[in-house]
């Protein structure tokens, strides 16, 4: 962690000028913001939300038009977000990066519902062979917090963090049974100004507005029946059945569980008549889980964030907006066992001054990303998931690895790859690759499979297996290939100890490669990355002394992103 620094008077004056310029430039972004709101933070949130609505990628010019901010402001905001690892600047594009999911993870960890109820939703999905989702209320909409999907040609699922209007969903009428008159008025105002749901980018626009009376009738029915149906309101062919999961301590709806199917399998009525009893049994199990779950043990809060932002400002100067970075770190103060925090606790967790933390929290209240409780504590709101979570929740391991492999290849001028074991553990399959530009290069396409026993990535993965794997017959692919089972077992033992595998001309003569594992949150090797080169270019010693340090650093970066991205989502390996 870089050392902190004490600002000089000149630096303080420059920061004050920048803050004043930020306030003056904020009018198009937040005309009704409180006086104490942090304007650069408002602008940074706007950039993240516009990127989210665009499915993760926009050019700076498109961001300029979407946010109404000056191009120079967009450039400084994206430079700051890139420094934090929240976006990547790929040529002309600005793209959301997996590390941004730590903000949504903070909300989901503090909420605890995915942690406590996710296994119950998964079990119901397995039992019914249908998709099951959990959703929470977000204003006059609903937002998904967990998905258990089925693998079919016609797959039905929403992205975690997607926001849908209450009137076009199965959970919506159930949440609306608890609305106040103010909530109803907010809903009616939105319906008047946006009758076709154009402000919900995850939905296809409704061809004809749904009459308000139809939703009001569905709410009365939901209050009476304790369940609700969506009969192709989201889109043609999709049907859903929902039931409320109540907080045993307050009796209010904590979340809503839904079974989602399509009309080739069930009509809405058939879905209710055949599956409602099983849905209610699952809901009863969820409520029992909430009733008996022990209080969470607070996890470690982030550390030294204020020092990091200060050092980044010192290094990057005007291009780094320190108030934006510090404001975003406030969200990461929340998490497991830290659902409600006082202002003092937020300041202590982040290392920020109380005044800085207070202004950030005021800004988040204004934006609907946080709320203050009657006990003078703060909590995160579901809208935190609007900061990149929906598009990033569909990230694959190959998506995560590719930018890091590109940086590795650029640094060492050799091709690099990512591969996973096939289900039978006999082969590896290439899922990501970045080739270097050379006259003589290693030419492998995505999807290519090779025998695991004769490759560096295969051996790294075989060495990590919790139980002995049978790699199949050991055929000699070159005169150097290990074909004796005892020698292979000894080689795997060495690899397990040293943490890497080096294979020298065993797959193909002249081909030398070195690989390290990629480990998931449990420490299990789920993939491997390697660097392959011609034997004439790098000796075995060169591979260990020159390439292995870069390879290990790259693996660590991939694992950091993987652990963030897979905290509350199922991340596909292929």
Give the predicted TM-score (pTM) of the model.
Answer: 0.89
Q: How many CB atoms lie within 10 A of CB 489?
A: 13
pLDDT of residue 234: 86
Consecutive sets of 10 residues in the chain, 574 residues long: mean pLDDT of each? 41 42 39 88 97 96 96 96 93 95 96 97 95 96 92 66 95 98 96 87 77 95 97 89 96 97 90 96 98 87 68 80 94 94 93 94 97 94 97 94 96 94 92 76 80 95 78 85 92 95 92 96 96 89 95 97 94 81
Query: Is the CA virtual torsion 42, 47, 53, 56 positive or negative?
Result: negative
Go through 14-47 and write b for each residue having 16 or more CB atoms within 10 A of its CB, e for each that does not: eeeebbeebeebbeebbeebeeebbbbbbbbbbb
pLDDT of residue 570: 87
Give one DSSP letter per residue of 280-327, joined into a string. HHHHHHHHHHHHHPPPPPPPPPP-SHHHHHHHHHHHHGGGS-HHHHHH
In degrees, rounded to 5, the angle at the alpha carbon of residue 562 between the alpha carbons of residues 558 and 564 is 125
Count of all residues that appear for the chain in the document = 574
pLDDT of residue 210: 82
pLDDT of residue 306: 65
In degrees, rounded to 5, the angle at the alpha carbon of residue 380 between the alpha carbons of residues 340 and 282 is 90
CA distance 354 to 351: 9
In 351-479, which ranges are continuous DSSP H helix? 354-367, 389-392, 397-412, 456-464
Residue 495's alpha-carbon distances to 229, 412, 490, 558, in angstroms, are: 55, 23, 9, 20
The helix-helix angle for 354-367 and 322-331 (nearest 10°) equals 70
């Amino acid at each position: 962690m870089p050392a902190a620094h004490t600002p000089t008077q000149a630096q303080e004056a420059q920061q004050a000028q920048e803050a004043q310029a930020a306030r003056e430039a904020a009018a198009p972004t937040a005309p009704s913001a409180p006086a104490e709101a942090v304007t650069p933070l408002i602008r940074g949130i706007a950039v993240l939300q516009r990127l989210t609505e665009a499915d993760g990628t926009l050019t700076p010019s498109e961001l300029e038009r979407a946010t109404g901010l000056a191009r120079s402001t967009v450039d400084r905001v994206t430079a700051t977000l890139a420094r934090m690892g929240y976006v990547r600047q790929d040529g002309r594009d600005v793209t959301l990066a997996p590390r941004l999911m730590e903000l949504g993870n903070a909300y989901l960890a503090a909420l605890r519902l995915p942690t406590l109820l996710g296994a119950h939703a998964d079990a119901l999905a397995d039992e019914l062979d249908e998709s099951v989702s959990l959703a929470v209320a977000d204003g006059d909409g609903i937002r998904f917090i967990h998905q258990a999907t089925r693998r079919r040609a016609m797959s039905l699922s929403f992205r975690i963090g997607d926001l849908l209007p209450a009137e076009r969903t199965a959970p919506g009428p159930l949440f609306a049974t608890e609305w106040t008159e103010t909530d109803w008025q907010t809903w009616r105002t939105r319906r008047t100004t946006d009758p076709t749901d154009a402000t919900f980018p995850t939905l296809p626009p409704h061809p004809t507005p749904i009459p308000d009376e139809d939703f009001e009738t569905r709410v009365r029915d939901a209050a009476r029946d304790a369940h609700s149906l969506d009969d192709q309101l989201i889109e043609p062919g999709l049907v859903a059945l929902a039931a409320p999961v109540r907080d045993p301590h307050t009796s209010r709806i904590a979340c809503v569980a839904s079974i989602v199917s399509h009309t080739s399998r069930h009509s809405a009525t058939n879905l209710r008549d055949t599956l409602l009893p099983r849905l209610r049994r699952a809901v009863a199990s969820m409520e029992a889980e909430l009733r008996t779950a022990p209080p969470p043990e607070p996890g470690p809060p982030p550390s030294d964030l204020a020092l990091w932002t200060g050092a980044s400002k010192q290094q990057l100067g005007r291009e780094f907006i320190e108030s934006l970075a510090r404001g975003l770190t406030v969200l990461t103060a929340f998490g497991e066992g830290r659902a409600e925090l006082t202002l003092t606790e937020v300041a202590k967790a982040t290392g920020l001054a109380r005044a800085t933390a207070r202004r950030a929290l005021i800004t988040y209240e204004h934006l609907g990303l946080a709320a203050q409780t009657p006990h003078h504590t703060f909590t995160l709101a579901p809208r935190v998931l609007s900061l990149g979570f929906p598009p990033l929740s569909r990230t694959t391991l190959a998506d995560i690895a590719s930018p890091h492999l590109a940086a590795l290849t650029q640094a060492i001028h050799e091709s690099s790859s990512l591969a996973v074991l096939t289900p039978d553990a006999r082969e590896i399959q290439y899922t990501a690759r970045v080739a270097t530009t050379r006259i003589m290069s290693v030419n492998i396409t995505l999807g290519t499979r090779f025998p695991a026993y004769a490759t560096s990535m295969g051996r790294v993965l075989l060495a990590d297996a919790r139980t002995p794997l049978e790699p199949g017959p050991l055929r000699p692919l070159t005169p150097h290939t290990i074909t004796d089972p005892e020698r292979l077992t000894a080689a795997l033992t060495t690899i397990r100890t040293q943490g890497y595998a080096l294979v020298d001309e065993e797959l193909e003569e002249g081909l030398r490669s070195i690989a390290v594992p990629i480990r998931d949150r449990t420490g299990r090797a789920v993939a491997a990355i390697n660097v392959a080169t011609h034997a004439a270019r790098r000796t075995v010693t060169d591979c260990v002394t020159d390439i292995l340090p870069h390879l290990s650093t790259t693996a660590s970066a991939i694992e950091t992103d993987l652990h963030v991205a897979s905290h509350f989502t199922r991340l596909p390996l292929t």
